[in-house]
Amino acid sequence: MHAPAAQDSLFEHPAREAIAPGAWWLHGFARGEAARLLTDVQQVLAEAPLRHLVTPGGYRMSVAMSNCGPLGWVSDGRGYRYSPTDPDSGRPWPAMPTSFRELATRASQAAGFEGFMPDACLINRYEPGARLTLHQDRDEQDHGQPIVSVSLGLPAVFLFGGLKRSERPRRLSLVHGDVVVWGGPSRLAYHGVLPVGDAAHPATGRCRINLTFRRAG
């Protein structure tokens, strides 16, 4: 496991853009597979429907979410954590589709992280006005594993900051098929999403779908 060297030539990866040490923006990386990914999203959601989780402080999240894979991220009055079962149904989360796992592995490799095998995929739906405040992904056991985030549908402004909340984040205008991968020295970087604008996309309608892959266990 290693972060790509800063001097790595971008001419070898014309669609790859460095955004911070160990963090890469893969422009359009998933665009060719988007239709299959969205079909598989619907199959997962038929088993584990989207829901609006509540934070430990009682705040209802504006983003609707679900999970697939051996572990799923959940939040309620008891805190943030990963669970092998869907708290709404009591059943295991749906299996992670092959299309998801293969894309996450290839994207992590393209960003210089070898051997990434996600065991959790968060499926987030952003309707117009939904947002995600700046936060760190800290609930995973191994912070040596990267995060892979896939954008489908409506565009969104992704905020990518530093290791302190006070650091001013960079704004990335993500579009359908873009993938962001971060790990190494940027693994615990603060990140978030500005409110999504009201529009429609041919692939998803009036929403943005985000797939976030993690190695949680």
**H or E element, residue 25:** strand 23-26
pLDDT tens track for 1-32: 444 433 333 334 459 999 999 999 999 999 99
Residue pair 146/116 in contact (Cβ under 8 Å)? The answer is: yes
Q: Give pLDDT, residue 2.
A: 42
The DSSP secondary structure of 45-57, one letter per residue, reads HHHS--B--B-TT
Q: Give pLDDT, residue 135.
A: 96
pLDDT tens track for 33-82: 999 999 999 999 999 999 999 999 999 999 999 999 999 999 999 999 99
β-partners of residue 80 are 75
β-partners of residue 149 are 180, 212
Structural domain boundaries in the chain: 14-214
> Could you give the maximum distance between any two Cα atoms of the chain, in Å?
49
Q: Does domain 14-214 have CATH number 3.40.109.10?
A: no
Measured CA angle at 73 (ends 162, 145), to 5 deg: 50
Q: Give pLDDT, residue 7.
A: 35
pLDDT tens track for 156-186: 999 999 999 999 999 999 999 999 999 999 9
CA atoms within 13 Å, Cβ hemisphere of 106: 12
pLDDT tens track for 109-135: 999 999 999 999 999 999 999 999 999
Q: Give pLDDT, residue 86.
A: 98
CA atoms within 13 Å, Cβ hemisphere of 14: 0
pLDDT tens track for 74-107: 999 999 999 999 999 999 999 999 999 999 999 9
Residue 91, phi then psi, degrees to nearest 5:
-100, 160
Q: Give pLDDT, residue 3.
A: 42
